[in-house]
Structure 1
Amino acid sequence: MTTRRAIAVPSSIVLALALAGCSNGMKKTFGLEANPPDAYQVGTLPPLSLPPELGQLPAPNPGQPPTQEVSAAQQGSSVIAPANALPGNGQPASAAGQAFLNQAGPAPQGDIRAQVNQNAAVSSKSGNFVDKLMGDNPAAPPVVNADEEQRRLQENAAMGQPVTKGATPQESSASPGLWGRFLNWF
């Protein structure tokens, strides 16, 4: 009986450790699983600098972050800011950059964002009884017919013409209301 107990206790401990080692928490605890740093929180520290006179150092604020340190979020947003992506007013674009911009097509209108927001607001507006009776709002923006537009672009490419040649095929989502259908009978 004692030999069974002598075998059962160590084997149960080994079994418990083996099962605990299979869990993610134990793998991290024992260093069996990689724990990489968060890519969005990694940043470089600013270089050390000394003032001309050491007596002019500001008093330290315990517990406060360094005054010269920029957070990783601010560094990331400054890297992907549109002002940094395209050359500024005084900087001419490189030859490759200018070729890319020429290939992208004409510059959008200045108020394009306002137009897109207005069109989205108009198209998402649910109609009331009068709108259903009279028909959809006539100011609803037309929608590009994707199949016809693809066919037009393929024809232009086959003929060696620019993509801007020809009118963009559009389909109106407006449907005649009850009153419009009634008048169409006559």
Structure 2
Amino acid sequence: MKSVLARPAAAAATIVLALALAGCGEDTKKEFGLEANPPDAFQVGTEAPLSLPPELGQLQQPNPGEPRPQQVDAAQAGANIVSPQNAITPPPSSTTPGEQALLEQAGPAPQGDIRAQVNQNAMVASKPQGFVSQLVGSGPAPEPTVNAPAEQKRLQENQALGQPVTTGSTPQNSNEPPGLFQRFLNLF
């Protein structure tokens, strides 16, 4: 009798323990080795490369315990990077001839407010339709797609008549779904 009761209790305890371990936070997972523990990128310093002087006989004798003269203190290097003088330095004012040629090949400069226009267009396109717009079926229309069978027929007709493929307009399907009100009217 005792072993029959112990099995469900052990199974329940195992399930509870598995759920508890699955819900552990990031620190606990790192402690148990379930998640990688990479080094902190801000605490890792770079070592200067080794170099040999031309005259090996004139080397200074090393003093044990003293830092290498070419080694940079990581804290000082970080402070130099975030200092206001380094953050506010203006970009170079003159462009090289190669940069100028590359800019000329790129075409005209974009409008000054192009980023604002792109953000505005993205916001309008991602805005969900309102209730009335869904009823009527209005709102931003999806891009039309090419009607493949009709386009193939148009191209074959142009080829048979000896006309260029650009003759005629490309047949397109409208991807705009009808609104609820329009579907109701289509029933009659």
Q: TM-score range by the shorter chain?
A: 0.3 to 0.5
TM-score, normalising length: structure 1: 0.34
Which one has a bigger Cα radius of gyration? 2
TM-score, normalising length: structure 2: 0.34
